[in-house]
Structure 1
Amino acid sequence: MQTSINFNEQLVLVTGGARGLGEHLVRAFLREGAKVVINYLTSAEAANQLAADYPEQALALQADVTDAVAVQTLFAKAQAHFGQPITTVINNALPAFSFNGDARENADQLSWSNVQQQFEGIVKGALNTTQAALPGMRHAGFGRIVNVGTNLFQNPVVPYHDYTAAKAALLSLTRTLSQDLGPDQITVNMVSGGLLRTTDASAATPEAVFDYIAAATPLRRVTTPAEFADATLFFASPWSRSVTGQNLVVDGGLVKN
């Protein structure tokens, strides 16, 4: 039984890894010596360029995480390419969403289709990657699953009802999976951010909102995607070998978890 392995022995999948926060997550793991599968849905050019920067360590693979068959195919291709199973999954993929509170549906306008779209991408996507990863993780006797969450269900300052509900459900899944998979030496954790300066998703956020968040945060600044990515490394590192079912909030201290 091995409770941890070093980064240079891990094959990491980052879903939605071509752009935005995903790219920072990919680069953080590559920097630490891991091999990384860069999953993308439509951003082929960005994903392939990122992989080309690290030809020995990275592989770009297209798959819709809501499609279980496509996800299974991705895992098989990754194992064939690198000669080892994916041992670490970072569930970062985000369904289409604009982080602009003024443009989001309020309680009167919110439809179930809005909520369902977010649940499909966030919860179903994470379930698909987890299930595809289990055979390889069990064979290796080691597994790390890290789900990307949000601080908005603790600090719901904007009406992102659909997105926030799906991320809250993902936290619940994180905790139940940690209980279920612990005997296999697979840990399941969440890293939750707030507004990040700046990603593709947060590009629509008015500057006044960035200023408001910075002023309300102990560090008096908005967390960057690179800072968030660095914190995510902890849950894949040997130092977290006895940590599972947890939610680490990385937002400069705005939310006290």
Structure 2
Amino acid sequence: MGNVLPPRGRALRRGEPLANPGSFDELHRRCKEVFPPQTEGVKLVVNKALSSHFQVSHAVHMSTLGPSSYRFNTTYVGDQQLSTTEVFPTLVGDIDNCGSLHAQVLHLLTERIRTKAIFQTQQSKFMTWQFDGEYRGDDCTATLTLGNPDVISESAPKWVATLNIGCGGAHASYYHKANEQVQVGVEFEANTRLQDTTFAFGYQLNLTQANVIFRGLVDSNWCVGGVLEKKLPPLPVTLALGAFLNHWKNRFHCGFSIIVG
């Protein structure tokens, strides 16, 4: 897999070297963050930094459609900081009240080689694992994933286009940042095993002066929804209200969240 990214802030000139596009996971993340998360019931999240290396969080979710749950998350970061978003080694663990665990370890072998391991259990039973090896070149990134091969990806400063192809189907996404206030994302997924194809369009509006973020969603399953997040400075509190309506299944649900920290 190769990723290519022109230098930020100016057009690529002939003869100029290309910059490294970064991790492949970041390409999908930009598009995913535009879409509003499904919200239902009431959710309370409390974040606490124990030191410069350790952080923990508690999340309680009271649902009307399913059983309520509690999740405990802990994060450890090391001393090797390459950028504001890359610190090594990093260990992340998340466990719920049923004993299901999701763990992730990121480690820097050399300046150009990064590794990642992901383990997941469900009710104390081992479910999945995944190992990633990533090589950072001067103008490209090569990633080898054991279990989920990523084939093609391309990127540019204010937009990101990705494509994954596997034996089970294909997944494509497109992210575009129009300006500081508007971001949009388009996602297409085809599953050959289920003979199912889905399409979704999401957008995000940032109202900085009002401390408000709104995310909206429209997909091919006749589902529309949105999540409104409001920060309450100087308090470290964020209020979130979400609602989703599925016209095809005639189903509606909404939720309210309080995030502290």
TM-score, length-scaled by structure 2 = 0.27
Which structure shows the higher strand fraction? 2
Larger relative contact order (CA 8 Å, sep ≥ 6): 1
